[in-house]
Amino acid sequence: MKFTPETYSVPDRAMTPFIDEDEIWNYIETSVASPEKVRAIIGKSLAKQRLNLEEVATLINTDDQDLINEIKEGARQLKQNVYGNRIVLFAPLYVGNKCANNCIYCGFRAGNKQAVRKTLSDEELVSEIEALEDNGQKRLILVYGEHQTYSPEFIAANVRTAYKVKKGNGEIRRVNINAAPMEIEGFRVMKEAGIGTFQVFQETYHREAYKQYHLSGKKTDFDYRLTSLDRAQEAGLDDVGIGALFGLYDWRFEVLALVRHANHLEACYNVGPHTISFPRIKDASGLTSGSKYFVSDEDFARMIAILRLAVPYTGIILTAREPEALRNEVIQYGVSQIDGGTKIELGTYSQQEKNRNLDKGQFKINDDRSLGEIIDELLEQDMLPSFCTSCYRRGRTGEHFMEFSVPGFIKRFCTPNALLTLAEYIMDYAGEETAAKGWKAIEKNIGTLDEKTQQSVREKIEKIRAGERDLYY
């Protein structure tokens, strides 16, 4: 079935959900993964042609290890062709953990009496942002529990504060949001505040499983959550992120549902999701999650490669829930954005505290490397750390972003801007050894650009050496 903008008007969307469980399971149960078919699908993706659900299901059903390795290699090639070797870095900043929902897998849940509830004051928010700027962060995602305290107006005020904080050469250039679904007017408030991406994760796209995990609160409304980013699009907020929490239901179903959700947004609004996230169930305050749907490292890595082939234009985010070794592996063939130096206990960036107390956090961190350590290791792996925010600030969002990203042209902006932001980081924050690696990487990557762009990048880098900042394409 092809979805068009006329298929769903905003009031009717909940009556005609676009996730058809029978359809998804039919693809999983009937798609046959022959070597010839799998290789043809990989070839189609490498030709930058979108995969349909049957083709994605075929990749999911591939159980031959040699073919799985070919899927990963195809994903690696595609990622290189579309994004180059850059990895975008960001930091999550938890602003408040009050929550009115009872989601049994989450440390923020209303029924968790062990949780230490806190909402950052304006002064604390500024202190946290200054501490992040001291480490070189330029991109934030503000995270909130789902509670009436965290209204659109409250979040918008936080966003404006974040953009105003300047310490030395530090500044925040992009603020993304992870918060409760909103009405259209609330999303308009977000847009007016100048946010980047608004993320809403469905958690699980399987309706019955969703019901079992979400016991009370507004989040029990599956359809309201499912259509939240449709309301964002109606409000003119065209930069959105989707996600699922793997381990709540069968990962094969969730992968196809994520692709269906991406297809729905693109068909209805000509704009697919800017990012897809896929955290896995981890320990949380008062809850140790055991599930028959737990996703192994092997399956987790495979599904990341499959998603990269399925939605080549979409940024794939992997958080510090995952251990260092796994993150280092999947950035090679799927992931394009990671967090660094992450702390999820409220108020701990400015206090220089470790992630220790699950009663103060939403889940457990498994990669506690500092931002500097991650940048150094990315350079060792011949990856290009990036703090780029140029697309958002040049207006390359929504349909305009799709015009560049779908055919793979976005790379022409990504690499030069990554080099410029890396040069800034080296000048302002890097240690001597990291700086040496960074300049070497810059020189190597400049050589991959056309002559005109090389000259322009070199001129801008000299300006950065002379003290100018925030130069971009």
Give the pLDDT score at 16: 55
Give the pLDDT score at 145: 96
Average pLDDT estimate for 398-413: 59
Give the pLDDT score at 401: 58
Average pLDDT estimate for 69-89: 93
pLDDT single digits (tens) 211-230: 999 999 999 999 999 999 99
The radius of gyration computed from the CA coordinates of the chain, to the nearest angstrom, equals 21
Nearest-angstrom CA–CA distance, 289 and 291: 6
Give the pLDDT score at 13: 45
Output 356 or 149, whichever has higher pLDDT: 149
pLDDT single digits (tens) 235-258: 999 999 999 999 999 999 999 999
- Torsion sign (Cα): 372, 240, 402, 260: positive
The secondary element (H helix, E strand) that includes residue 276 is strand 275-277
Nearest-angstrom CA–CA distance, 425 and 360: 31
pLDDT single digits (tens) 110-164: 998 888 999 999 999 999 999 999 999 999 999 999 999 999 999 999 999 999 9
Give the pLDDT score at 378: 96
Prediction pTM value: 0.91
Give the pLDDT score at 15: 43
> Is residue 392 a contact partner of residue 385, using CB atoms and an 8 Å limit?
no
- Percent of the chain past pLDDT 70, that is, above it, reads 88
How high does pLDDT run on average in the chain? 89
pLDDT single digits (tens) 427-443: 999 999 999 999 999 99
30 confidence band (pLDDT: 50, 70, 90): very high
Give the pLDDT score at 170: 96
29 confidence band (pLDDT: 50, 70, 90): very high
- Percent of the chain past pLDDT 90, that is, above it, reads 75
What's the token pair of residue 451? 């002559």
Instruction: Indicate the pairing of strand 170-171 with strand 166-167.
Output: antiparallel
pLDDT single digits (tens) 369-404: 999 999 999 999 999 999 988 776 776 665 555 555
411 confidence band (pLDDT: 50, 70, 90): low
Rounded alpha-carbon distances, angstroms, from residue 300 to 278, 319, 323, 329: 9, 13, 12, 11
φ/ψ of residue 115, rounded to 5: -65, 135
- CA angle at 344 for the pair 242 and 156, rounded to the nearest 5°: 60
Give the pLDDT score at 155: 98
**Range in 113-117, 176-180, 276-280 with the lowest mean pLDDT:** 113-117
- Per-domain residue ranges of the chain: 18-79, 85-369, 408-465
Question: How many Cα atoms within 13 Å fall on the side-chain side of residue 62?
Answer: 28
- Torsion sign (Cα): 271, 254, 88, 338: positive
* CA 157 to chain centroid: 23
pLDDT single digits (tens) 303-343: 999 999 999 888 999 998 899 999 999 999 999 999 999 99
84 confidence band (pLDDT: 50, 70, 90): confident
Domain 85-369 in CATH 3.20.20.70? The answer is: yes
pLDDT above 80 for 91: yes
Give the pLDDT score at 14: 39
Question: Maximum CA pair distance of the chain?
Answer: 62
